[in-house]
Chains A and B, each alone.
Chain A
């Protein structure tokens, strides 16, 4: 079992550009959540996808959008990148019925905006 896999592991983008991050959930999981972790801080919830729909969203602007595919994998898109978007982006997967009690995290994608 490969667990939660994220790609790429590192990424450097220029201010104003757009970026897409990808996540494959753990085998058997159908729910994917995305988190932003700024340096020295705890992860902040961005949004969650189940059945290809956004189910809940944190306090992030519309520049942050996502998608879930029929195979449960997910993408996080960020438009008009700002320097403040530099962070570690974490994907977490779970099953719908255990989404509040069990979540497995990937290694993250380190995004640097210059």
Chain B
């Protein structure tokens, strides 16, 4: 079956540091890939997505590239802010899955001033 594996947290960074969160997946078909962010006490917000190989999703300074050869979708940001402190979830959805999203376990990011 499908699965998503992401690096464990917490990841603690200083403001303006570079952030990378690794995400790899297994899927039987050609999934769409997503990063969602969850702030404390809130639901999930879509951060970015990529629907086919080599696509790059980007939003709010975050980027991730769909790498089919390495089955990866790593999230990066060049200069984090305290406001980026949250839990980040990598997820996939396959075309024949009726919109079922498979999520990773989440990575908590803590940015200190």
Contact = CB atoms under 8 A, between A and B. Distances in A.
A81 interface: no
B49 A104 contact: no
A92 B98 contact: no
A32 to B, nearest CB: 10
Contact of A104 (B46, B97, B104): B46
A103 B100 contact: no
A41 B100 contact: no
Contact of A106 (B43, B89, B95, B98): B43
Nearest to A110: B41
Contact of A100 (B46, B97, B104): B97
A33 B103 contact: no
Contacts of A103: 46, 93, 99, 101
Interface residues of A, number: 29
B45 A105 contact: yes
Interface residues of B, number: 25
Contacts of B91: 42
B22 interface: no
Nearest to A56: B98
Interface of A: 4, 6, 31, 33, 35, 40-45, 48, 50, 55-56, 58, 90, 92, 94, 99-108
30 contacts: A4-B43, A31-B99, A35-B101, A41-B106, A42-B91, A42-B103, A42-B104, A42-B105, A43-B89, A44-B103, A45-B100, A56-B97, A56-B99, A58-B100, A90-B43, A90-B44, A92-B44, A100-B97, A100-B99, A101-B32, A101-B49, A101-B51, A102-B46, A103-B101, A104-B46, A105-B36, A105-B45, A106-B43, A108-B42, A108-B43
Given A4-B43, A94-B99, A107-B42, 16 more contacts: A33-B99, A35-B101, A41-B105, A42-B4, A45-B101, A48-B99, A50-B98, A56-B100, A100-B32, A100-B94, A101-B93, A102-B46, A105-B44, A105-B45, A106-B43, A107-B43
